[in-house]
A and B are shown apart, each in its own frame.
Chain A
Amino acid sequence: MHDGGKATRVIGIRSAEQVLTKNMTTPDSAKDSLTSALNSNIIPNREYLLQGSVVDQYVEVLLHRLRGLCDNVDDGAETFYDHEMCFSLCMNSSGNPLVFPLRVRRALDAQDAPYQLRYIGQQELGDKNRPTIVRSSIDVACSASIVEFLQELGCRLDFEYTARGYMFRKGRMKITVSKICKCGGGNKPGENIELISQSYLVELSVLAPSGYDAIAEDMRVFAEQLKPLVHLEKIDYKRL
């Protein structure tokens, strides 16, 4: 879930000169190539997720363990400081309320990183045998005009927060350990920071094309290794 601007720094604009110079055929329209990508199921639009938390005084223990378990052993954990804004596009169509949630995330510690626009779909908890939550997710790197764009599009800012913490990588898995802060009034994150809890939020997630359920098992095994420090579980927050 924590796909901060930093976590996936994809610069949107790439020069096509190398790609195109030798290609004499007509380039496919972007729509066509997207459709073919959808059909061949290579777009990572499913997120496998486990969540948990750790009390502040034990976070060092957890970080130490993660440093040992994860791939970024040599350079240590990467820190991030992201600001997330959650928008929704609502309307009433013939009595049916329609809501389309969108999240914008940006790195506060790397101002030149692109913003990250994110759509997160309905959570699927599945039965007991499924080790993780699965939800559809579309991640799009975008320019800084996204906030104004969404506001003018008709979106309403539901809530916003900042997440500051550490990010680890283990194969395809991403582990974030972060402190969630409420943003003070106004649009200036960094001021009037208010912690909402004495714990760090711990999330283990993988973005994969649909059908890659084997990765969920890997995640379960990894989560097992963090016990009893953190219990990473499927949490249906809508039921809480």
Chain B
Amino acid sequence: MQQREEKQLESALDSIIQRVNDLKTSIAAMIYKVENEYETLNWPTFLDNFALLSGHLTSLSKILSHDKCPVLRNLTVLPLMLSPERDEQLAQLTEHRVTTFAHDLVPDYLRTKLEPLAENKMMQLEHKAATVAYENAQKQVAAYQKVVTHIWDIVSKAREEWDVESSARGNAQQHSSVSDTHLLVTAVGMGKGLKPVPNANGQPGQPAGSMMVAPQGRPGSASGQGQIPPATQTMTMNKAPSAIKTNIKSATQIHPYGR
């Protein structure tokens, strides 16, 4: 039982050390970058480094809060021996940051409480909180909550609007319709849908005319395309190779109203 716990502790400590080392190297890399590449360093890569750091921090805190991690709080570190002499092994371990394990350094390094300054500050705040009356505190909390919900509302509203706008921008079809374009272009170009009702005296050379007339009113795109006027057929058939040079000739050959 104890052995298992010990093993667990060991592995947990190993992984923690690994994470901390990762964190350390990435901090070092960042410091190096700031110091040496400050001329070429751009904001996005700097932010990327931050993201890396925060990733490491999250994974570290994950390990610490993991189930299998033994409750470190319950363990104590006991300095067995203090000596004012230089300890080579320690120096190597700490990259020459800590050379002696002496009585003046140990309390700082093995401290489990907050830093004295921070501790002071915390004390002050707690004291202040304790003195505030309950009703007052309640009021403040309510006001604070109100502000937060209000901002939340604003943000979500704006988001909704953006969503609608971007979706509206997404379908461009709303602004123009292909069938309308075709309708207008053929109307202006060939008079489709614009021709008067064929005159009764029926000029010779206009037999196709009556068939060309589109249905009255606004012809839907389906009917407009479904009905292939005979003249269009002949036109596409006659659509001569581009070798035709004179405009008159080519125009006459493909003109739908010819005989």
For the complex, what is the distance from the CA of A235 to the CA of B194, rounded to whole Å? 19
User: How distant is the Cα of A121 from the Cα of B175 in the complex, in angstroms?
Assistant: 31
A199 vs B239: C-alpha distance in the bound complex, in angstroms? 30
Kindly supply a per-residue 1/0 record for chain A positions 25-57, scoring 1 wherever the CB is within 8 Å of any chain B CB and 0 otherwise. 000000000000000000000000001111100
Would A229 and B175 count as touching, CB distance under 8 A?
yes
Chain B residues lying within 8 Å of A136, measured Cβ to Cβ, are 247
Task: Known contacts A160-B194, A238-B235, A239-B236; decide if A122 and B183 are in contact (CB<8 Å).
Answer: no
Residue ID in chain B nearest A238 by CB atoms: B235
Given A201-B184, A235-B181, A239-B236: A55 touches B218 (CB 8 Å cut-off): no
Binding site for A on B (CB under 8 A): 169, 172, 174-177, 180-191, 193-196, 203, 205, 218, 225, 232, 235-236, 239, 242, 244, 247-248, 250-252, 254-259
11 extra interface residue pairs, beta carbon distance < 8 Å, beyond A230-B176, A231-B181: A1-B188, A53-B177, A159-B196, A196-B193, A198-B218, A199-B180, A201-B184, A201-B188, A229-B172, A237-B185, A239-B232
Q: List 26 A-B contacts (CB under 8 A).
A: A1-B188, A53-B177, A53-B180, A54-B175, A58-B176, A96-B252, A97-B258, A99-B252, A100-B252, A122-B247, A122-B250, A158-B257, A161-B188, A161-B194, A180-B184, A182-B194, A183-B194, A196-B193, A196-B194, A197-B184, A197-B218, A229-B175, A230-B176, A238-B239, A239-B232, A240-B186
Name A residues whose Cβ lies closer than 8 Å to a Cβ of B.
Answer: 1, 51-55, 58, 61, 84, 86, 88, 90, 92, 96-101, 121-122, 124, 136, 156, 158-161, 163, 180, 182-183, 185, 195-199, 201, 227-231, 233, 235, 237-240
